[in-house]
Chains A and B, each alone.
Chain A
Amino acid sequence: MNSVESKPNVKFKSVTILSNTEISPNVFLLSFKRDFAFRAGQVLGIAVSSNDDARLYSIASGENDENISLLYNIKPGGKLTPNLAILRPDDTLWITVPFGTYAGSDEPAYWIAAGTGIAPFYSMYRSGLGSNKILIHGSRTLDAFYFSDELLTDFGSRYVRCCSQQEGEGTYHGRVTQYLEALDNLPEDQKYYLCGSAEMVVECREILLSKGVPFSNVVAEIYF
């Protein structure tokens, strides 16, 4: 989830940035110390000035992690991200309280993400919900499988990387939608969590529905 203005009447508080690292071309992971509780899958409103409108980003760290991390890509001409990307450690970031109900559970499920849409699932995984999940991550390039070292270690064969524009060892060459199309016998009684752009979410949802998954088992989060 990203890029929507948050509630203007919600008060910001300031936090001090610990790190703001470009982990892939134009994609950054920003961290600051956690001093509040949240549920994995929730979003934060953030701004570089307390006078700005907040934009929403999914938290990309575990409920018990020491720091809060946010994964974002630079949108050329955007109001927030070009200014966010130049912030350095010890600079100030303004945040809202965490909110939202896109929450995971400890039931078996599929987590299906595209691009920076991996963030809420990484948060759920870091919060101990990953052991019975199948994680499918789609991206255009091989350098966009964020957190893949850690995910590969813990998920093993339950972690599927679909790369549409490059071929790589251990990755499926094609769109995440093509990968889903080719799957047979998808369990109809499990939840399918989706997070990514509107195109990705609606296309994946359509494929799941066509394979007999009831719409009540498709849990969608969208970027906007």
Chain B
Amino acid sequence: MSFAETIVPKEHLLGKTLPDLKRIAAKLGLPAFVAAQIAYWLYKTNIQSYDEMTNISKKVRLLLAEHYDLGVSDPVKVQQSADGTKKYLFPVSSHKFIETAFIPDARRNTLCVSSQVGCKMGCLFCATGRQGFQAQLSAGQIINQLRSIPEREQITNIVFMGMGEPFDNAEEVMKAQEILTAAYGFELSARKVTVSTIGIVPAMEVFLRESKCNLAVSMHSPFDEERRKLMPIQHVYPIKDVIDTINRADLGKYRRVSIEYIVFGELNDTQKHVKELARLLNKTRCRINLIRFHPVPNVPLPPTNEDRLVEFQRALNEKGIVTTIRASRGLDIDAACGLLSTKALIQRENGDF
């Protein structure tokens, strides 16, 4: 007979909100102010171990270490694009990885974070979607993508536009956006944090009510039938309901809503689309962000036609919708929009077929 020790992984402290940390302090019989001290070390510094929490007694540090891991982990790989974009690879568990893109430009340094390993949404044009879904990320694993890169101090903007659908992991994403914007956390302005969704209406309603961060919605077509072919979510949450949800929300004065629109040449860049977009967004305070389609192997969708793209932008602006074209960054390292994927690193698990 043998006795195998079962090692239960400890919970991580990174990703805990201040109220979470207060509950932990109470559970461990510690005074409430310890919660604020821990938050300081987690989110205001880049310490790597409990030993570095110098204003917390050794006894308390040992107690914390006994029950919790810190939850910080370095990326295992970085690739750099000719345009300065970097793509980081983080392991989140055995055989599961995520990618994070750091996109510097003259005015801002943006970090594009992942919210899931893979994605369940199955959008036809997206490389992440083609790897299926492997795992949800915890708030700590989302926050770690910012905390553990060398550019941490330079980041001005965070966009939840990496791997995964943020609102399919709404609870952890809501915690992460709180930590990013809270005074006890990274103290980023909510105007500098954008959560992008394909339009999971119930979670969007919660986000619009409880967060002040910006919202981006992936539309890609204003027409039901066409959008269904590109994005299966349209069967359940049609884009009209998504827009109605935005229209019902109190956006305040400064909160920004963007409509993300990948332009496929001669498919969704016609005058008919301009007219329908203008009709659909008639009551919506938003801008449209046009994105070039970055071809994914074996996906039978036409590439963006540059002349038509510019004409499409002009026509939308003429209709009174502020429309911009997003620069394609990090193409040479597959860091551009829709190209993040860790499919090659996944060890297949038993699914339903």
Chain A CB within 8 A of B322 CB: no
User: Nearest chain-A residue to B301 (Cβ)?
Assistant: A215
A205 to B264, CA, bound (A): 19
Could you say which residues of chain A place their CB within 8 Å of the CB of B118?
198
B21 within 8 A of A: no
A201 & B232 in contact (Cβ 8 Å cutoff): yes
Tell me whether A101 and B120 are in contact (CB under 8 A): no
Q: Mark A183-224, 1 if CB is under 8 A from B, else 0.
A: 000000000000011111111011001100011101111111
Complex contact A220–B300 (CB within 8 A): no
Asked if B11 is at the interface of the complex by the 8 Å CB criterion, the answer is: no
Tell me, yes or no, whether B91 is within 8 Å of chain A by CB.
no
- A140 and B353 contacting across the interface, CB-CB below 8 Å: yes
Taking the nearest CB of chain A, how far is it from the CB of B98, in angstroms? 16
Known: A7-B201, A215-B301, A220-B232. A206 touches B352 (CB 8 A): no
Contact A197 B133 (CB under 8 A): yes
Map CB proximity to B onto A86-118 as digits: 1 under 8 Å, 0 otherwise. 000000000000011110000000000011110
User: What is the minimal beta-carbon distance from B276 to any residue of chain A, in angstroms?
Assistant: 18
- Is A56 a contact partner of B236 (Cβ separation < 8 A)? yes
* B236 A1 Cβ-Cβ under 8 A: yes
Q: In the complex, what residue of chain A is closest to B200 when comparing beta carbons?
A: A4
Proximity string of chain B (116-149) to chain A, C-beta cutoff 8 Å, 1 when within and 0 when not: 0011111010000111110000000000000000
- Interface size of A as a range: 35 or more
Complex: how many Å from CA A198 to CA B198? 15
In the complex, are the beta carbons of A222 and B353 less than 8 A apart?
no
Interchain CB contact under 8 A, B298 and A221:
no
- The smallest C-beta distance from A172 to any residue of chain B, in angstroms, reads 12
The reply on A156 being an interface residue by CB < 8 A is no
- Residue B224 interfacial (CB < 8 Å): yes
Interfacial chain A residues near B165, Cβ < 8 Å: 224
Return chain A residues, CB-CB under 8 Å to B352: 114-117, 138-140, 196-197, 200
Is A43 in the interface zone, CB < 8 Å from B? yes
Inter-chain contact A99/B236, CB cutoff 8 Å: yes
Whether A100 touches B235, Cβ cut-off 8 Å, given contacts A5-B170, A7-B205, A215-B300, is: yes
B106 → A minimal CB distance (Å) = 38
Q: Which residues in A have their C-beta under 8 angstroms from that of B60?
A: none
* A8 and B202 contact, Cβ closer than 8 Å, known pairs A43-B236, A101-B238, A224-B120: yes
Nearest-Cβ distance from residue A162 to partner chain B, whole angstroms:
7
User: With an 8 A cutoff between CB atoms, is B168 at the interface?
Assistant: yes
Closest to A114 in B: B353
Query: Which residue from chain A places its CB closest to the CB of B226 in the assembled complex?
Result: A216
Choose among A53, A162, A202 the residue that contacts B132 (Cβ–Cβ < 8 A): A202
Judge whether B275 is part of the interface by a CB distance below 8 angstroms.
no
B199 to chain A, nearest CB (A): 12
Bound complex: CA A205 to CA B131 (Å): 12
Per-residue A-contact encoding for B200-215, CB less than 8 Å = 1, 0 else: 1111011000000000
Q: How far is the CA of A57 from the CA of B184 in the complex (A)?
A: 40
Q: Does any Cβ of A come within 8 Å of B347's Cβ?
A: no
Per-position binary interface string of chain B over residues 30-46, scored 1 when its CB falls under 8 Å from any chain A CB and 0 otherwise: 00000000000000000
Kindly provide the distance from the CB of B310 to the nearest chain A CB, expressed in whole angstroms: 26
SS class of chain A's interface: helix, strand, loop or mixed?
A: mixed
Among A100, A114, A222, residue most surrounded by chain B Cβ atoms (within 10 Å): A222
Q: Would A198 and B133 count as touching, CB distance under 8 A?
A: yes
Beta-carbon contact of A209 and B236 below 8 Å: no
Contact between A198 and B119, CB atoms less than 8 A apart? yes
Question: Is B202 within 8 A of A162, CB to CB?
Answer: no
Chain B neighbourhood of A127, CB < 8 A: none
Measured between alpha carbons, how far is A8 from B2 in the docked complex, in Å? 51
Q: Is A175 an interface residue (CB 8 A)?
A: yes
Is A177 an interface residue, CB under 8 A from the partner?
yes
Closest to B236 in A: A100
Look across to chain B and name the residue whose beta carbon is closest to the beta carbon of A179.
B353
List the A residue with the shortest CB-CB distance to B245. Answer: A7
Are the C-beta atoms of A199 and B133 separated by less than 8 Å?
A: yes
Give bound CA distance, A36 to B352, whole Å.
31
Contact flag A220-B350 (CB < 8 Å), given A9-B205, A197-B133: no
Cβ contacts under 8 Å, A140 to chain B = 350-353
Measured CA separation A165–B165 after assembly (Å): 31
Q: A139-B353, A197-B133, A214-B300 are in contact. Are A221 and B124 (CB under 8 A)?
A: no
Chain B contacts with A in 227-274, Cβ cutoff 8 A: 228-229, 232-236, 238
Shortest C-beta distance, B344 to chain A (Å), equals 15
Q: Are A224 and B121 in contact (CB under 8 A)?
A: yes
Contact A4 B168 (CB under 8 A): yes
For A162, what are the chain B residues with a Cβ–Cβ distance below 8 Å? Answer: 353
Q: For the complex, is A6 an interface residue (Cβ under 8 Å from B)?
A: yes
Q: Which residues of A contact B (CB under 8 A)?
A: 1, 4-9, 43, 53-54, 56, 99-102, 114-117, 138-140, 162, 164-165, 175-177, 196-203, 205-206, 209-210, 214-216, 218-224
Contacts beyond the supplied A177-B353, A215-B124: 11 A-B pairs with Cβ under 8 Å:
A140-B350, A140-B353, A197-B351, A197-B352, A198-B118, A199-B133, A200-B352, A202-B129, A209-B300, A216-B229, A222-B120
A-B contacts, 12 listed (Cβ < 8 Å): A4-B202, A43-B236, A114-B352, A117-B352, A139-B353, A140-B351, A175-B353, A197-B351, A198-B133, A199-B351, A215-B229, A219-B228
Give me the 10 closest cross-chain CB pairs, A-B, nearest first.
Answer: A115-B352, A199-B132, A138-B353, A114-B353, A224-B120, A198-B120, A220-B232, A102-B235, A198-B132, A5-B202
